[in-house]
Amino acid sequence: MRINHRMRMSLALAAALSTATAAAQSVATVLQAQQHRVESVDARASGRLVMVDAAGKRTSYKFTLKMQGFPDGVRLLEEVDTPQPVRLLVRLEPTGRVIAHVAHKDAAGKWQAQAAPAQLSEPLAGTGFVLEDLVDDQFFWKDQSLVGRAACGSRQCVTLQSQPGSSDHTQYSKVVSSADEKTNALIHVVKTVRGSGVVKDIAYSALRESHGVSSATQMELKMAGRPGSTLVIVDRGTAKANLTLRDFDLGSSTLEDPNQQNQVD
């Protein structure tokens, strides 16, 4: 059968549309898996937050963490035992908006929450991590694209590039996330800070499975052009903590309206 020019054009267009549809379906499938991983979390962990300076000297603080998905969003409560202990409550709403509050101990040793929301760019106990880094809000941004599939060491990874839309409040202009294709556990994340262009490289390692959920028990953050690194090392934890709202009490002070938007530098 002879194929004329118009038929060739039609076949080429059909092939292009088919490829585009398949790519869109792949993005949707990967994105849905990551959103489900975040929203279905039910975890408790304890470990060490370690700062490594340019000379290799380590400063270590103990932390405890609880994280649970609820109908109104994912809540995370973290307590870090620094010289001035800090308690953090971060909520990721279904829309992707992040709200964070901070509490410190008063003279009587009771937790007192700051009424106003904290800035999402506030460093976590003086490390390279900031409050926004405690939740994977990039998977809820408007613009998502599939970078590709490739080996991550012994694992096969799928990589997504996330960019915020005008309504997404974040300090990042772009986040590239690579996850294990079988378990959806994050393996490598690269974040670019808006404005400054500073690149934060986070490597996830020592994956462990708990109640059918795979997650890293160590994370290392390095910032381009800056010596040293920050480590998050999980010593104990479970992915089936059966937490409730009562487990996420920040302190005795009354907080401002939780719908108030956090500030972003």
pLDDT in tens, 155-192: 999 999 999 999 999 999 999 999 999 999 999 999 99
Res. 115 pLDDT band, cuts 50 70 90 = confident
pTM of the model: 0.85
CA distance 139 to 162: 7
Whether the predicted pLDDT of 104 surpasses 50 = yes
- DSSP letter assigned to residue 5: H
> In residues, how long is the chain?
265
Nearest to 90, CA basis, from 130, 53, 135: 135
Q: Which domains does the chain have, with CATH numbers?
A: 37-235 (2.50.20.10)
195-232 confidence digits (pLDDT tens): 999 999 999 999 999 999 999 999 999 999 999 999 99
SS (H, E, C) 12-50: HHHHHHHHHHHHHHHHHHHHHHHHHHHHCCEEEEEEEEE
Interval 46-86: pLDDT, tens:
999 999 999 999 999 999 999 999 999 999 999 999 999 99
pLDDT at 153: 87
Over the chain, what is the mean pLDDT? 88
